[in-house]
Chains A and B, each alone.
Chain A
Amino acid sequence: MFGNILFLVSALFSVLGAVGVVATKNIMHACVYLLMSLIGVAGLYLTLGADFVAATQLVVYVGGVVILMVFAVMLTGGADSQKSNRFGIKKTPMMGSIGTYIAGGISAILASYIVIFRLLPKVFEAQPVNSTMAFDKTVEKIGMLLVSDHVLAFEISSVLLLGALVGAAVIARPKRN
């Protein structure tokens, strides 16, 4: 029972949040809707039994990325509803040229083809969520894999993080006179 409720709530959260992100004109509201969507996605991970991934979603995205985004918004001086055409939304109501429309249309057709004819049949074939999941401690499984089979990926990811750290520091550094 709870699996279904959790799925419905999280799916509603993620879809409504995603709609809110694109529908709102206020960029700070968009950040909050994104937060809602990300929490919904964390709930979806929970329904799949991936509890560690769900918590990672919360820690990294809700706690980190959204905060970083609001900081980035504050770099531009925040969302001012009077100046919402700063992103070109009011100035060009059509929001694009013929080229973007053609590209968008083709990709929409492709995506809907893939979703309708390739993915949806598989969804209906799929097993119900509750019956397939073996609920052993996922954290320990991930840990075992990280220190045995995927140890190289684990170590290289630290180099990636080092690169990101140094890159962020260098880009944000004020220039000397």
Chain B
Amino acid sequence: MALEKLDVYWPILILMAFGVLAVVGALVVSKIISPQKPTELKRQAYECGEDPVGDAWALFNMRFYVIGLIFIIFDVESALMFPVVSVFKKMNEIGRGGLVLVEIVIFLFVLIAGVAYCWRKGDLDWVRSFQTPDKEKES
């Protein structure tokens, strides 16, 4: 027996450490051999040649958040689907595939109902057919 049970996770740790060390190491080397002459103009944020106005950390639209929420729900759904789907073939071989298939289909149909609802109500549209406030239109 060559490996202990947890040894299979070595590469994850090593590769991610490589990822960190490569960036840090290259930055250190670059710091040593590259010129370092920062000037005020160089260090300005790029705004097509104008002086930057204010900073970029502005309020963003709500729909990014909605997309994030819908994504998490699908993410959890896929996390639940993975184990069930991976045993489907074996269950099919011992003759219980129909039952599992029905379970998967029910699970997915409940979610499809949710997607259909969101679709019908326009929550999946990036550009809404009705805009909220008059303030946005004025500005």
Direct contact of A and B (CB under 8 A): yes
Residues of A within 8 A of B (CB): 1-3, 5-6, 9, 46-47, 49, 52, 56, 59-60, 63-65, 67-68, 71-72, 74-80, 129-130, 133, 135, 139-140, 142-144, 146-147, 151, 154-155, 157-159, 161-162, 164-166, 168-169, 172-177
Q: Whose C-beta in chain A lies nearest to the C-beta of B9?
A: A46
With a cutoff of 8 Å between Cβ atoms, the chain B residues found around residue A133 in the complex are 5
- Verify B58–A77 contact, CB threshold 8 A: yes
Answer whether residue B7 sits at the interface, using C-beta atoms and an 8 A cutoff. yes
Shortest CB distance B88–A (Å):
8
- Verify A161–B111 contact, CB threshold 8 A: yes
- Verify A67–B4 contact, CB threshold 8 A: no
Q: Whose C-beta in chain A lies nearest to the C-beta of B100?
A: A147
Q: Whose C-beta in chain A lies nearest to the C-beta of B122?
A: A173
Answer whether residue B1 sits at the interface, using C-beta atoms and an 8 A cutoff. no
The docked-state distance in angstroms from the alpha carbon of A91 to that of B75 is: 40
Per-residue 0/1 for B80-101: is the Cβ within 8 Å of any A Cβ (1 yes, 0 no)?
1011111100110000000110
- Verify B132–A162 contact, CB threshold 8 A: no
Number of interface residues of B (CB under 8 A): 57
Answer whether residue B79 sits at the interface, using C-beta atoms and an 8 A cutoff. yes
The docked-state distance in angstroms from the alpha carbon of A151 to that of B49 is: 61
- Verify A168–B110 contact, CB threshold 8 A: no
The docked-state distance in angstroms from the alpha carbon of A155 to that of B10 is: 36
The docked-state distance in angstroms from the alpha carbon of A155 to that of B81 is: 11
The docked-state distance in angstroms from the alpha carbon of A80 to that of B59 is: 12
The docked-state distance in angstroms from the alpha carbon of A162 to that of B76 is: 11
- Verify A147–B73 contact, CB threshold 8 A: no
The docked-state distance in angstroms from the alpha carbon of A47 to that of B5 is: 10
The docked-state distance in angstroms from the alpha carbon of A176 to that of B87 is: 47
- Verify B57–A169 contact, CB threshold 8 A: no
With a cutoff of 8 Å between Cβ atoms, the chain B residues found around residue A174 in the complex are 62, 128, 130-132
Interface centre among A52, A71, A72, A157 (most CB of B within 10 A): A71
